[in-house]
């Protein structure tokens, strides 16, 4: 399935899946760095679609990605956002990361954060703006964590 067919398929599949929850809304789709970005506008059922700790949101994203992979789509990586939940969470995390970085700069002590892969990417991105700070991940699987340290360390 070529790129445009992948986009159309993912959009229709997600809209059909959302209709199961009686959410009938237009899904916005774009492609950014070979990642299919799908956005569902806010509705009265957004909290149900997001779920506790965004578990339902991540599950919907997984289902969509798996379906594309099984159909040999050109684009298989998916980022699903509902009611701008991920966008708002990323903004909050970026502010929190700035605080952690300032703490490292002030004290000289490294900071260890237990974050999922997506959140680690956000902090790596924020830290890239600081010349005296480095970030790296250590550990495996669920034990993987991010370390913020001064470059001189």
In sequence order, what are the beta bridge partners of 37?
Answer: 30, 79
List the one residue out of 118, 115, 128 whose CA is nearest residue 90.
Answer: 118
CA within 13 Å, CB half, 56 = 13
How far apart CA 151 and CA 130 sit, in angstroms, is: 10
* 128 phi/psi in degrees, rounded to 5: -60, -20
Mean pLDDT of the chain: 91
Task: For residue 16, give Cα distances in angstroms to 11, 20, 26, 31, 85.
Answer: 9, 7, 11, 20, 21
Kindly give, in sequence order, each residue whose CB lies less than 8 Å from that of residue 130, ignoring residues fewer than 6 positions away.
101, 105
Write down the pLDDT at residue 43. Answer: 87
pLDDT tens figures, 32-48? 888 899 999 998 888 99
Residue 100 has pLDDT above 60, yes or no: yes
pLDDT tens figures, 55-98? 999 999 999 999 999 998 888 889 999 999 999 999 999 999 99
Chain center to CA of 151: 27
Write down the pLDDT at residue 113. Answer: 92
The whole-model pTM stands at 0.76
Q: Determine the CATH number of domain 3-83.
A: 3.30.300.20
Instruction: Give the architecture (CATH level 2) of 88-150.
Output: 2-Layer Sandwich (3.30)
How far apart CA 121 and CA 94 sit, in angstroms, is: 10
* Helix or strand (DSSP H, E) at 132: none
Report domain extents, the chain. Answer: 3-83, 88-150
Residue 142 has pLDDT above 90, yes or no: no
């Amino acid at each position: 399935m070529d790129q445009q067919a992948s986009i159309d398929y993912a959009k229709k599949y997600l809209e059909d899946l959302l209709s199961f929850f009686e959410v009938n809304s237009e899904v916005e789709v774009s492609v950014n760095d070979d990642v299919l970005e799908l956005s569902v506008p806010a509705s009265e059922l957004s909290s149900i679609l997001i779920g506790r700790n965004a578990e339902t949101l991540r599950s919907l994203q997984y289902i969509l990605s798996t379906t594309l992979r099984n159909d040999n789509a050109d684009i298989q990586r998916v980022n699903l956002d509902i009611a701008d939940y991920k966008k708002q969470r990323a903004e909050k995390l970026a502010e929190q990361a700035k605080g952690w970085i300032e703490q490292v700069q002030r004290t000289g002590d490294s900071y260890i954060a237990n974050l999922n892969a997506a959140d680690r990417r956000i902090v790596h991105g924020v830290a890239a703006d600081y010349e005296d700070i480095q970030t790296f991940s250590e550990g495996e699987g669920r034990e993987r964590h991010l370390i913020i340290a001064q470059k001189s360390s």
